[in-house]
Amino acid sequence: MRNKLIAAFACTTALVSTGAASAADLGARYTKAPAYAEPLFNWTGFYVGGHIGGAWTNEQFINNGTGAPFGDLSVGDGFRQRKSGIMGGAQIGYNWQANNYVFGMEGTISGLDNKGSFTNTVFGAGLDDQFSWRANVLATIVGRAGFAVQNNLFYIKGGYAGVNNRLSVVDNVANPSTGSGGQTHWHNGWTVGAGWEYGITRNWIVGLEYNYAAFGSQTYQLGGTSGNYTFDTKPRDIQWAVVRASYKFDAPTIARY
C-alpha cells in the first residue's frame, strides 16, 4: 500500500510540473509586446511660407501692322530677348495625405526683376527706337500630387499662371516727346513644375522647386500721341528655380504599428 501511495504522489508531481511548464510557454508566446514603430511624418494640413530664387524670361514683341510701321520695323518684324533676375514671394496651400500619396492645392505670388532694353540701330548706333520691357509680378494657382517617404515629399504640379508685363519705346530719331509710349498688361497662361520638400520638424518644411510657364499674347499700343503703333507682345515663357520654407499647421499624428 505504501508503495502505491508513493507512486501516485510521484505521478501527480510530474503532471503538475509539466502543466506549469506548458503554462509558462503559453504565457511567453502570447504576451510579447509588439515592436515600437516611429510615427510617420504627416503632410496633411494648411501651410504658409516664402520662396526666393532666380527667374528667366523670354520676351517677344512683333509689329502687327495696325496703323503704320513703327520706324523701320515693317509688319511682322519684331524682337525677342531673354533676361534673368532674382525673384521672391509667398505661398499658401493645403495638403491631404492618403498612405504615401499626397495631394494638394497651392497659390503663389512673386515679385520679379526680369527686364531688358535695346536700341534698334538700323538708322545708326543709338539713333533709332529704344525699346524696354519688364515682367514684374507672377502669380500661380496649381494642383500638386506627390509621393511621401517619411519626411521626404517628391511632387509634381500644374495649373494656372499669370504675369504682369510692360513694354515701352522712345523714338530717338523723330521726336522723343511724341514718338514714344508704353503699356502694361496682365498675361494669362499655364505652368508645370516639380519639387522636393523635407519636414525638418513637425511644423517646419524646406524644399527646392523648378517651374516652367508660358503665356498668351496681348496687343500693346506704343505710339504715344503720334500714331497707332501696336505690337503683339508676350513673355513667351518664364522659368524659375527657388528654395522654399513653409510652416505647416498641426494635423492629427499618424502612427504605424
Query: Confidence band (pLDDT; 50, 70, 90) for 64?
Result: confident
pLDDT at site 23: 46
- How many CA atoms lie within 13 Å of 155's alpha carbon, on the beta-carbon side? 29
Q: How far apart are CA 250 and CA 45, in angstroms?
A: 7
223, 67 contact by CB (below 8 A): yes
| Residues facing residue 2 across a β-bridge | none
Helix (H, G, I), strand (E, B) or coil at 36: coil
Give the closest residue to 88 by CA, choosing from 113, 51, 56. Answer: 51
pLDDT at site 255: 47
190, 160 contact by CB (below 8 A): yes
End-to-end, the C-alpha distance of the chain in Å comes to 61
Residue 16 in this model has a pLDDT that exceeds 90 = no
Give the closest residue to 207 by CA, choosing from 164, 166, 248. Answer: 248
Helix (H, G, I), strand (E, B) or coil at 5: helix
List Cβ neighbours of 22 (8 Å cut-off, separation of 6 or more): none
> What are φ and ψ of residue 249, in 5° steps?
-75, 150
User: Is the model more confident about 95 or about 67?
Assistant: 95
- Please report where in the chains the cell 531673354 appears, as a residue: 82
Q: Tell me the per-residue pLDDT of 218-237, one tens digit each, with 9 for 90 and over.
A: 888 876 555 566 788 889 99
pLDDT at site 26: 46
Q: Compute CA 151 distance to the chain's CA centroid, rounded to the nearest angstrom.
A: 18
CB atoms within 10 A of CB 29: 8
Amino acid 135 reads: A
Q: How far apart are CA 221 and CA 233, in angstroms?
A: 10
Query: Confidence band (pLDDT; 50, 70, 90) for 160?
Result: very high
Q: How far apart are CA 55 and CA 114, in angstroms?
A: 7
Q: What is the pTM of this model?
A: 0.77
Query: Confidence band (pLDDT; 50, 70, 90) for 194?
Result: very high
205, 198 contact by CB (below 8 A): yes
User: Is the model more confident about 182 or about 253?
Assistant: 182
Residue 239 in this model has a pLDDT that exceeds 60 = yes
